[in-house]
A and B are shown apart, each in its own frame.
Chain A
Amino acid sequence: MPAPSTSPAPPAAGTSTRVTGGVGESARRPDGALKVTGEFAYSSDLWADDMLWGATLRSPHPHARLTGLDIGPAVAMPGVYAVLTHDDVPGRTVYGLERADQPVLCDGIARYHGEPVAIVAADHPETARRAASRIVAEYDVLEPLTDPRRAIDPASAPRVHPTGNVVRHLAVRKGDFETGLDVAAEVTVTGEYEVGMQDQAFLGPESGLAVPAEDGGVDLFVATQWLHVDRDQVAACLGMPPERVRLTLGGVGGAFGAREDLSMQIHACMLALHTGRPVKMVYSREESFFGHVHRHPAVLRYEHGASRDGLLRYVKAEIVLDGGAYMSSTPAVVANAATLGVGPYDVPHVSVDCWGVYTNNPPCGAMRGFGAVQAAFGYESQMDRMAAELGLDPVEFRIRNAMSEGSTMPTGQAVDSPAPVAELLKRVSSVPLPPRERGDDGYDLRELPGGVSNTTHGEGVVRGVGYGVGIKNVCFSEGFDDYSTARVRLETVDGRPVASVHTAAAEVGQGLVTLLVQIARTELGIDEVTILPADTEVGSAGSTSASRQSYVTGGAVRAACEAIRERVPDPASLPDGEVVEETVEWRHRPTSPLNEHGQGNAHVQYAFAAHRAVVDVDTELGLVKVVELATAQDVGKAMNPDAVVGQINGGSAQGLGLALMEEVQVSGGRIGNPSFTDYLIPTILDMPPTRVDILELADPEAPYGLRGVGEPPAISSTPAIVAAVRAATGAALTRIPIRPEHILDLSGVSEGERT
């Protein structure tokens, strides 16, 4: 259970009426039972009686010139209704989140393995797939650019885009580095680290249904993270005014960032408008690995300088993020990695350079933790090495340097709400360590590295403990106009007050629909609250990302309820038949862009979590069993305590995956493991028991004092686990995910030559 608050959150403004299931309670999710019993309708379950099925032909090459495209054999197949290519895109031929640089369909050059080349609609999904494979696409294969370190050279070749290969270079300079001086320290450690390409691995693949409308427009039902930004891109590419493209959220089977960019949206709409029939598209698991962006792989070089008595003096870092073939959200990921690049520590002098680059690798973009994850592996690895160099306990060294309320970020931004970094570390480090239960013969395979695969009965097993702490910005940054819209309607039906809440915010599994009900109940003092389906009939809610929806859409719903209360001070006593409705556009405080030294109040709010990992490592086989994860996180206000714990456990698991197994293996620009057979995510035997300690130190700026919850636990669990494996083995482990080969010294082993 969560620990009691260390300081009280401000009382919710509102009526004194008691409701059940209000803010602060663990109200039940409306979709929970449906999901665990398999009844929930996901976007892949959408159906129209006369619908066609879409399929996509993709480039088999990471870099190639498309020299010929013969759709004839596909068109000739019975049951095929349309085969469309680049020439058929009705409007703008490119799309993108930050800059429209990604062709709707291959524009003559394929820039990554899996780039869509042509789309097909047929009366059966198998027919559509077979027709796609009959399209004859001819290519001149070109040399791919696959090394992101080469791409930071503005003159690097080949150029993936005419603008050059550097998407963004952000320099952050603080202290003497800002004034151009060099900084020295008594003790320095340098290290180079690498982060592999992680996938969001949501369980519900990309899917949706496009239905042509009588006004010549289209209705699109789809699983996404941000309906309005999808709509604007789809409309531009269809050459239509936005109001003729109407989106409704389908059932979303997880997102984690992978649904920020478009996948099948424009394709399905093109096919529907072309055929005049509803068109459904569902990616297979394999196609899904090619159909969405991944987490940016990173190469990080760090130099830390500290005084003998254990105070950080400076951090220099160079971070290269591989954005792959298209821009997606790379510039924002760069901003996070750079501005959060030294971690939650007070560092007087900072020099961080971060590059996001184009290559011919798979496009990378948003994933839970968004740039902060990669940086945290670098700076936390460094903090452990520096502690060792100084002869200090890693927790003690972190606490000495922990930032706090009033600290100044490397961007010069003052941290003006609680930043209990030291407290979080103290909490996780004071949790009693789990016992070692094993006697001589009393082992349980499920508790050992290797699990039931029976590789050890205790031989070679060494326990290790490691720590990690991380920082994440909440909400959109750098001056972005980040708002949400809520429409709340209050009426009394048969003597009972009922409210409905309408927003365009995407419920992706995180529980926002539960939270919005809780807020409306609390603010209006009534029990019956309905959430209307999310669609574009109401204004934008912004993205379900950056841990921002509780903050921003939660804030909008609260504001709309307050507006209603101004008109009807006691909502529970509204006369029968009367209706009151308020629509509010709500914004958090503004942020500002970063200047040429990376200075500026770029972020809205900071969030922190700390982890302690306890692992058992089979030091002879290099296999790891995480024994326990302890987390402490400040959430400002636990709006729904069960949901908070769920987010923390889920984020910790995703971080465990990155530490130990999750990697999209890319070689020569090609994905080698596009399936759950070889892209491994943690099972229940890999995820250990957790201990979750929740602090509620209110942020006075935020609704209810809340702090975004979703991302921080996905940041610090990874370095904590790696540190624990290092503690058990002494291995350097500068790359994640760790593989058994990294733990062992195999230099003396021959490669299996035969006698």
Chain B
Amino acid sequence: MEFLRPRTWNEAVAVKAAHPEALALAGGTDVMVELNFDRTRPASLLDLTGVDDLAHWALDGDVLRLGAGVTYSRVVDELGFALPGLATASRTVGSPQIRNRGTIAGNLGSASPAGDAHPALLAAGAEVEVESVRGVRHVPVAEFFAGPKRHVLEPDELIKAILVRPASGPQEFAKIGTRNAMVIAVCSFGLALHPHARRVGTGIGSAAATPRRALDAERFVSEELDWQGRGPLPDGVARRFGELVAHAAEPIDDGRGTARYRVHALAVMARRTLGWAWAAYRKG
């Protein structure tokens, strides 16, 4: 197996063009598991951890650029204010060791329906900045997933950054697991209030072939909420929102939970997270 270790981003993109079969390696918390189990045997590994500046984040105009090397721990420690939904999601990932190594970009690269970053990124309306020698393109996270563990990257493309606006309103993330830490999501839900746009963003995890938004629920609740007057959240609205989120899911029965439970739990999480976010919004 060849081990490719570029030093600069341009070099990385060039190497990927020359070796489209090379498997990108960030924190390795998914890749090394796959290799150890002999589930994948790539001809070469493209280690991105030596690339300068990839592990940085910065505000670029009104958008935050999260370099592909930014780990969960960094998000928890440094971006709790700017990206509260993603930070809450990051806190639920694995153990401290995994959070220190694992990256948000790696979560996207694996494209697991259960990836914890995805619902938060969906709700926040993030985009993935993708680059190859052919150029740069921006893929909304909602269009990034192509199926279970599949995404829309071309073989010569790499994720360079994740672009997301800092939160303009409260954000929440909730995840069901059958133990209280270190658990793969049975299902999960991300929610973001975008008060300027008077819009609510959502993301559903682990309850369909890919992470997805609950569009009907977003439309419904965005219209029902009293953005101007910051009035209380009618119980019926919260409930209906929960139902619509549940409707958007297409879960299966598996060893981690039943479809029925996932549908039910999504409705509860959606209702609760909306309540928390709205209460925070009302407080200003």
Residue of A nearest to B263 (CB): A752
Stretch at the interface among A201-209, A390-398, A451-459, A522-530: A451-459
Complex interface bits, A261-289 against B, C-beta within 8 A gives 1, otherwise 0: 00000000000000000000000001000
Considering only residues 240-266 of chain B, those with a C-beta below 8 Å from chain A are: 246-251, 255-265
Complex contact B179–A746 (CB within 8 A): no
Contact of A741 (CB < 8 Å), options: B91, B180, B251, B261:
B261
- Cα A459 to Cα B238 in complex, Å, equals 14
Distance in angstroms from A354 CB to nearest chain B CB is 29
Complex interface bits, A674-690 against B, C-beta within 8 A gives 1, otherwise 0: 00011010111110000
Complex contact A452–B92 (CB within 8 A): yes
B92 contact set on A, CB distance < 8 A? 452-454
With contacts A450-B176, A454-B173, A680-B183 known, is A741 near B257, CB below 8 A? yes
Contact of A453 (CB < 8 Å), options: B174, B247, B259:
B174
B residues contacting the other copy or chain, number (CB 8 A): 42
B63, CB-defined interface residue at 8 Å:
no
B88 contact set on A, CB distance < 8 A? 454
Apart from A685-B180, A752-B207, A755-B247, list 16 A-B contacts with CB within 8 A: A454-B172, A457-B272, A620-B268, A621-B269, A672-B255, A680-B179, A680-B183, A683-B180, A683-B182, A684-B181, A739-B257, A741-B261, A746-B264, A749-B264, A750-B260, A754-B248
A750 contact set on B, CB distance < 8 A? 260, 263
Contact of A457 (CB < 8 Å), options: B91, B178, B207, B276:
B276
Complex contact B255–A741 (CB within 8 A): no
B124, CB-defined interface residue at 8 Å:
no
> What are 22 A-B contacts defined by CB distance under 8 Å?
A129-B38, A449-B180, A450-B175, A452-B181, A453-B175, A453-B176, A454-B88, A455-B174, A457-B272, A625-B180, A680-B179, A682-B179, A683-B180, A683-B182, A684-B181, A685-B181, A740-B265, A749-B261, A751-B251, A751-B260, A752-B250, A754-B248
B177, CB-defined interface residue at 8 Å:
yes
A673, CB-defined interface residue at 8 Å:
yes
A623 contact set on B, CB distance < 8 A? 176, 178
A457 contact set on B, CB distance < 8 A? 272, 276
A19 contact set on B, CB distance < 8 A? none
Complex contact A739–B178 (CB within 8 A): yes
Complex interface bits, B144-178 against A, C-beta within 8 A gives 1, otherwise 0: 00000000000000000000000000001111111
Residue of B nearest to A129 (CB): B38
Q: Which 3 A-B pairs have the closest CB atoms?
A: A451-B180, A685-B181, A453-B175
Considering only residues 68-119 of chain A, those with a C-beta below 8 Å from chain B are: none
Residue of A nearest to B184 (CB): A677
A685 contact set on B, CB distance < 8 A? 179-181
A622, CB-defined interface residue at 8 Å:
yes
- Cα A454 to Cα B119 in complex, Å, equals 14
With contacts A665-B255, A752-B262 known, is A454 near B174, CB below 8 A? yes
Residue of A nearest to B248 (CB): A754
Residue of A nearest to B265 (CB): A621
A744, CB-defined interface residue at 8 Å:
yes
B216, CB-defined interface residue at 8 Å:
yes
Contact of A455 (CB < 8 Å), options: B247, B258, B262, B269:
B269
Residue of B nearest to A662 (CB): B179
Considering only residues 83-126 of chain B, those with a C-beta below 8 Å from chain A are: 88, 91-92
Complex contact B179–A683 (CB within 8 A): yes
- Cα A749 to Cα B242 in complex, Å, equals 13
- Cα A81 to Cα B8 in complex, Å, equals 45
B216 contact set on A, CB distance < 8 A? 755
- Cα A286 to Cα B33 in complex, Å, equals 12
Complex contact B250–A459 (CB within 8 A): no
A459 contact set on B, CB distance < 8 A? 272
Measured CB to CB, the residues of B under 8 A from A are 37-38, 88, 91-92, 172-184, 186, 207, 216, 246-251, 255-265, 268-269, 272, 276
B180 contact set on A, CB distance < 8 A? 446, 449-453, 625, 683, 685-686
A residues contacting the other copy or chain, number (CB 8 A): 43
With contacts A454-B88, A752-B207 known, is A661 near B179, CB below 8 A? yes
- Cα A455 to Cα B270 in complex, Å, equals 10
With contacts A454-B88, A678-B255 known, is A752 near B268, CB below 8 A? no
With contacts A453-B180, A677-B184, A740-B257 known, is A751 near B263, CB below 8 A? yes
A684 contact set on B, CB distance < 8 A? 181
- Cα A141 to Cα B246 in complex, Å, equals 41
B37 contact set on A, CB distance < 8 A? 286
Considering only residues 726-755 of chain A, those with a C-beta below 8 Å from chain B are: 739-741, 744, 746, 749-752, 754-755
- Cα A741 to Cα B256 in complex, Å, equals 11
- Cα A451 to Cα B249 in complex, Å, equals 24
Complex contact B272–A754 (CB within 8 A): no
A677 contact set on B, CB distance < 8 A? 184
B172 contact set on A, CB distance < 8 A? 454
A453 contact set on B, CB distance < 8 A? 92, 174-177, 180, 183
A454 contact set on B, CB distance < 8 A? 88, 92, 172-175
- Cα A455 to Cα B183 in complex, Å, equals 14
Distance in angstroms from A55 CB to nearest chain B CB is 12
Measured CB to CB, the residues of A under 8 A from B are 129, 286, 446, 449-457, 459-460, 620-623, 625, 660-661, 665, 672-673, 677-678, 680, 682-686, 739-741, 744, 746, 749-752, 754-755
- Cα A622 to Cα B88 in complex, Å, equals 21
A451 contact set on B, CB distance < 8 A? 180-181
With contacts A129-B38, A621-B268 known, is A452 near B261, CB below 8 A? no
Contact of B255 (CB < 8 Å), options: A673, A683, A749, A751:
A673
Contact of B176 (CB < 8 Å), options: A621, A661, A682:
A621
Distance in angstroms from B186 CB to nearest chain A CB is 8
A661 contact set on B, CB distance < 8 A? 178-179
With contacts A454-B92, A672-B255, A686-B181 known, is A749 near B263, CB below 8 A? yes
- Cα A629 to Cα B172 in complex, Å, equals 32
B178 contact set on A, CB distance < 8 A? 623, 660-661, 680, 739-740
Distance in angstroms from B116 CB to nearest chain A CB is 9
Complex contact A752–B261 (CB within 8 A): no
With contacts A452-B92, A683-B181, A741-B261 known, is A752 near B176, CB below 8 A? no
Complex contact A452–B91 (CB within 8 A): yes
Residue of A nearest to B180 (CB): A451
Complex contact A752–B246 (CB within 8 A): yes
Complex contact B249–A752 (CB within 8 A): yes
Complex contact A746–B247 (CB within 8 A): no
A672 contact set on B, CB distance < 8 A? 255
Residue of B nearest to A748 (CB): B264
- Cα A621 to Cα B265 in complex, Å, equals 6
- Cα A621 to Cα B262 in complex, Å, equals 10
Residue of A623, A673, A751 with highest tally of chain B CB at under 10 A: A751
Distance in angstroms from B165 CB to nearest chain A CB is 22
- Cα A127 to Cα B91 in complex, Å, equals 39
- Cα A751 to Cα B260 in complex, Å, equals 5
A744 contact set on B, CB distance < 8 A? 261, 264
B182 contact set on A, CB distance < 8 A? 683
Distance in angstroms from B284 CB to nearest chain A CB is 16
Complex contact B251–A752 (CB within 8 A): yes
- Cα A625 to Cα B261 in complex, Å, equals 19
B256 contact set on A, CB distance < 8 A? 678
Residue of A660, A665, A686 with highest tally of chain B CB at under 10 A: A686
- Cα A744 to Cα B38 in complex, Å, equals 40
A739 contact set on B, CB distance < 8 A? 178, 257
A746 contact set on B, CB distance < 8 A? 258, 260-261, 264
Contact of B179 (CB < 8 Å), options: A129, A456, A686:
A686
Contact of A740 (CB < 8 Å), options: B38, B183, B261:
B261
Residue of A nearest to B269 (CB): A455
- Cα A623 to Cα B181 in complex, Å, equals 12
Residue of A nearest to B261 (CB): A741
Residue of A nearest to B178 (CB): A661
With contacts A620-B268, A621-B176, A741-B257 known, is A678 near B263, CB below 8 A? no
B250 contact set on A, CB distance < 8 A? 752, 754
